[in-house]
Amino acid sequence: MLCRVLLPSDPEDVASERGEGMPNTVLPALAVAALALLQERPMHPYEMYQTLLLRKEDALVKVRPGTLYHAINRMAADGLVRATHTDREGNRPERTTYEITPLGSERFVASVTEMLAAPVNHFPHFPLAMAEAHHLPLADVLALVETRVAAVAAERDALDADIRRVRDKGLPERLWLELDLRRETHAAELAWLERLLGRLRSGDLDWSEPLPDPAVTSAPSSAPHPAAPSPTPHPAARHPTTPADPRSSATER
């Protein structure tokens, strides 16, 4: 295996595989994965599909036979790949083998280069869920976070097993860097979740304090404004105005 890269994927729509905010110079994730295989040698789409599953790259990019065939046809039309020959075995459908073109190699390298250098927000669900978790009762949040801790720990352990397996096979580390990246990402999330659980259980993170009333904190006052005091106190001595949104103060900091 000559090339493995961490590829973004959109779990909702093949058309948005590139991800929100990804530059137009970057090919869709499935196209990058397919071109990476063709960098090794010519293959037919079904062989590509089986190879992606064998290497567990379906954890990096959404892979389905139909969408893979569509991606190959699109790249052939764009001159990124070309058919070399077609074979038929018995009663099986014809299988067309493809190879990457010089343009395809150029676009592949440009895509991986951009993806490595430029962070892109793919709008994952979990940060949004944490931003709105204060709407749920504390008991529910504790149970849900505990469930997530178990799931993330299981994924981290599975990645540990994968890393041991590729090391035992003697594969150069450069070929499976994404395993280490994903393992460390899971470990970091797990550590944060466990700290959160500790704070919630101990009461260090108060879940009962009422939120400010936006109607009170944001409504303009009808009373006349008092004259500015003289001399003006140092800014550090001023009492801050309570924000209408309980999260806005954290953002301002």
**Residue 9: helix, strand or coil by DSSP?**
coil
pLDDT averages per 10-residue partition of the chain, 253 residues: 39 42 77 96 94 90 91 96 88 88 96 92 93 95 97 97 94 93 97 97 88 62 52 46 46 43
Q: Is the four-CA dihedral 208, 209, 213, 214 of positive or negative sign?
A: negative
In a domain, 244, yes or no: no
Number of folded domains in the chain? 2
Domain stops at, among 74, 94, 117: 117
- What CATH code is carried by the domain that includes residue 53? 1.10.10.10
| Structural domain boundaries enclosing 69 | 14-117
* This prediction's pTM: 0.68
Q: What pLDDT score was predicted for residue 151? A: 97
Instruction: State pLDDT tens for residues 67-100.
Output: 999 999 999 999 999 999 998 777 777 899 999 9
Residue 210 forms part of a structural domain? no
In degrees, rounded to 5, the angle at the alpha carbon of residue 158 between the alpha carbons of residues 165 and 125 is: 140
Q: How is 74-102 classified by DSSP, letter by letter?
A: HHHHTTSEEEEEEE--TTSPPEEEEEE-H
Q: Say whether 156 sits in a helix, a strand or coil.
A: helix
